[in-house]
Amino acid sequence: EAAVTQSPRNKVAVTGGKVTLSCNQTNNHNNMYWYRQDTGHGLRLIHYSYGAGSTEKGDIPDGYKASRPSQENFSLILELATPSQTSVYFCASGVGPQNTLYFGAGTRLSVL
């Protein structure tokens, strides 16, 4: 069954540390996305990718980097984590132009 798998599911990090969130999809979708979800803000797009080797800035990219080394894998990197990056992060894949998104189960990140 096609799926989007995120790891880790939960993460506690220290301020100033480096955090890498990973996402793997077996949908063979070209497009992949990283969102964060916060109360009062809904889902906000951080970075996205159209395919291996490409990354694009979303609506709130500051403080985040992304890497798409292959069709299947898309990582979100916080080089210097801050408490304001405490959130639930979702990865999704999709194929356009219809582009229904298929989401992972989320990663809960706490930066202390």
Residues that bind another protein (CB under 8 A): 4, 31, 35, 40-43, 45, 48, 50, 58-59, 90, 92, 94, 96-106
Chain centroid to Cα 51, Å, comes to 14
Residue 83 DSSP SS3 = helix
Alpha-carbon gap, residue 64 to 1, rounded angstroms: 30
- The span from the CA of 89 to the CA of 21, in Å, is 9
Rg (CA), the chain: 13
81/89 with CB nearer another protein: 89
Q: How far is residue 111's CA from residue 67's CA, in Å, rounded to a whole number?
A: 21
The least CB distance from residue 54 to another protein, in Å, is: 12
Q: Which is nearer to another protein, 105 or 112 (CB)?
A: 105
Q: Which residue, 8 or 16, is less far from another protein as judged by CB?
A: 8
CB of 84 to another protein, least distance (A): 19
Min separation Cβ 101 and another protein, Å: 6
- Minimum Å gap between C-beta 41 and another protein is 7
